[in-house]
């Protein structure tokens, strides 16, 4: 998916935010590529779409959702699917690109969790938590990053409410 198309989709999604069965009626949600649904975890009157596939949900604590597509993985030198690249990188890195990706996260504590049809590779340290979200049935990887004093609890809440939608 091109960055311009992704930006257009995000803007459209923001305009049509609505409740769904997996997210409590009072919680707003965003659908990423019509495949993964995530809550907008904190009240905010403004959302930001950066130049490229970055969606800023909140600034304090800072919460971002970023899509990593096949084109970006190709820039890293990988021809694997997003699912294969992420799962292999964190379980048994094959080749220099996966090893490099894994080594860039060595200072984090790593936890793997499966929930609602998604695989979460959760990385935490001090006031920063992030998760790489993949599923065999989707082409992209989603990176969720949270920065701030309660980063781990905010990320845990997002993960608890995330679900694979497959175009629902």
Q: Which domain holds residue 69?
A: 3-164
Domain of 69: which CATH number?
Answer: 3.40.1000
Q: pLDDT tier at 49 (50, 70, 90 boundaries)?
A: low
Q: Is 95 left (phi over 0), alpha (psi -120 to 50) or beta?
A: left
Position 123 pLDDT exceeds 70: yes
Summarize the confidence of residues 64-91 as an average pLDDT.
87
The answer to whether 123 and 133 have CB atoms below 8 angstroms apart is no
Determine the Cα angle at 98 with ends 158 and 164, to 5°.
Answer: 30
Are the beta carbons of 110 and 93 closer than 8 angstroms? no
- Mean pLDDT, all residues of the chain: 78
Query: Would residue 85 be called left, alpha or beta, if left means φ above 0 and alpha means ψ between -120 and 50 degrees?
Result: alpha
User: Residue 95's pLDDT is what?
Assistant: 87
Residue with more model confidence, 19 or 67: 67
pTM: 0.74
Q: How many domains does the chain have?
A: 1
Beta-sheet strand order (sheet of 29-32):
29-32, 36-39, 163-164
Average pLDDT over residues 24-50: 64
Predicted pLDDT at 14: 45
């Amino acid at each position: 998916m091109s960055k311009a198309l992704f930006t257009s989709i995000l803007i459209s999604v923001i305009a049509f935010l609505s409740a769904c069965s997996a997210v409590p009626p009072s919680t707003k949600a965003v659908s990423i590529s019509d495949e993964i649904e995530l809550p907008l975890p904190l009240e905010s009157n403004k959302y930001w779409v950066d130049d490229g596939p970055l969606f800023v949900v909140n600034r304090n604590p800072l919460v971002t959702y970023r899509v990593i597509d096949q084109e970006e993985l190709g820039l890293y030198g990988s021809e694997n699917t997003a699912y294969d690249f992420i799962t292999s990188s964190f379980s048994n890195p094959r080749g220099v690109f996966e090893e490099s990706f894994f080594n860039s996260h060595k200072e984090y504590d790593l936890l793997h969790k499966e929930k609602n049809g998604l695989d979460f590779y959760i990385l935490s340290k001090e006031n920063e938590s992030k998760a790489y979200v993949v599923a065999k049935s989707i082409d992209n990887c989603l990176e969720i990053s949270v920065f701030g004093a309660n980063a781990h609890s905010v990320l845990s809440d997002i993960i608890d409410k995330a679900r694979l939608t497959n175009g629902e």
